[in-house]
Each structure stands twice: as C-alpha cells, then as structure tokens.
Amino acid sequence: MQKAKIAVAQFCGGPSVSKNLAKCTHLMRLASAQDIKLIFFPEASDFIGNPPEEALTLASPISAKEGEGEVERIGEGEFLKGLCQQARELGIGCSVGVHEQSPFKGRLYNTHVLISPHGTITQTYRKIHLFDVDIANGPRLMESNSTVAGDRLVPPVSTPVGKIGLSICYDLRFPELALALRKKGAEILTYPSAFTVKTGEAHWEVLLRSRAIETQCYVVAAAQVGQHSEKRTSYGHAMIVDPWGNVCAKLDRVEEGIAVAEVDLSTLERIRTEMPVLNHRRDDIFS
C-alpha cells in the first residue's frame, strides 16, 4: 500500500487507568470512522502523575514467549487488554506509551507498544535515553529514579502504513537513534511524548522536523497536553511531519483529539531518490 491515513492523538492523561483507557478508545473510534489504519498515542497513556508506589502497582506486565519462530507478546492489565480488544473490534492498529513492570525493585520500564489491527502486540521498545535534567526556572525531573533504561533498539516493524521505528520522547534529542532506525529500513519514526512546557516551547517542533529531514522519514509525535497534577504539565502540540520536513498535521497546545495526515510512500521514495543522503554518509570517517 503506497498511501494510507494515520492519526496522531493528544490528550491530558491523569492517574486513573480506566479514564485514560476510555479517552484512548474514544479516539480510536473517531479515527476508525475516518478510515484510519493506525493511530498513535502519547507516552504514559496508561497513567501519569501518580505517586511512585502507586505507579508500581498499576504498571502493565508484558510477557513474551517463543512460538513457531516468532515471539508472542501478551499485555496483561486493564489498559493494554482494553486497547487490544478495541483494536481487534475496529480493525485499527495503534502505537502507545505505557509503564511496564520490570524485575528491578522500585523501578519500571518506559515502554512503547505497537498493537496490530488484529489486537495483538507486535513489538515493544523500552526507552533507552532517560530524562534526568534540572532546568533553570523549569522542572527538575530524574526519570532514572523510577525507570530502568532499555538496552537495545528494535528493528522497524512492518505495518499497513509502512515500516515503523520505535522511540520515546527524550530519544528525540539523539539523532544517532533515528539514523540507526533509518538504516534498518524505517519509513516512519515515532516519538510518543510528554514534553515539558519549557523544553517544548524551545525545541519540540525544530527537533521533530530535523529528525524527519535528516532521515527522510515521516515523523509522528503523539503528545500529552495540559496539567496532569500540581507539579506536572505537558506541552502538547502533537504533530505529523513528512520526509521533506513539512508539518502536515498538528494539534494546538490545549486541544484534546486527533490530527490526520496521509502517509505516501511513493513521495518518500522520490525524496530519497532525488537526494540520496544515506548513500552520501561518510561512515568510513564517522563510524
């Protein structure tokens, strides 16, 4: 399929898993009514702003087992089960950021889950770059206090809309990850996010457009938006960027909902053919 419609979602998540699930399933129904093939949800779509001890009990277990040459991934818990069921009923795939249980005491994984239109989990990626920063006149956030860093990138996943490379939020600041995914065949890069307001105002759009231009990929960045708790507010501005760096769909800072754009792989191939930057990279010098 050369052309397909996708949707990027934006909402203000809170501490209730059931309420966040209801928001996601509502947006999935809106997308399905517009013949969307895949919808992209933000980082921490399952819950956000909860005390650390509560987060540990709410996080989703995701098991994996080998079967006939493939890895079968099963998401337990209310949130992932609910999304998988809705995907299956509507025939629409989704990308979503969740908290995943880990074997490390007191800490979780920040995980990106890709769900097929059949309602099965096709891939998971654990965030490798953790947001440990202390911003002047802004937030002090130490993600590593509660989160275990992932230790690998995962190969792009074939979907009805193209080959998708998985990343999460702060990964956006590291172009080597995006380039590695492009070299492995990615056509769409995803950044489910919950950007702070201060960093979002300064860098959000320019980073997303940069990743699109340098990799010649579509970039899809779902976003948390608004005030989740007394101490946490997210920037929003979810968007889809095409391989030429044009913003082709975008949501405002305060808006909850979806924005829709068409992925055209023939346009992507034309851009890559006319300006073959990947072929020009001096890997003999910059290894």
Q: Report, as residue numbers or ranges, the catalytic residues.
A: 43, 127, 169
- The tokens for 115 are 């769900």
Contact between 82 and 21 under an 8 Å Cβ cutoff? The reply is yes
Edge-to-edge strand list for the sheet holding 188-190: 157-159, 162-166, 188-190, 218-221, 239-241, 247-250
Query: Within 13 Å and on the Cβ side, how many CA atoms surround 36?
Result: 25
Type of residue at 53: E
Integer-rounded Cα Rg, in Å, for the chain is 18
> Which residues, 6+ apart, have CB-to-CB distance to 99 below 8 Å?
44, 46, 47, 55, 58, 59, 60, 108, 109, 110, 111
Q: Closest Cα partner for 249 from 208, 211, 215, 220?
A: 220
Give phi and psi for 246, each to the nearest 5.
-80, 135
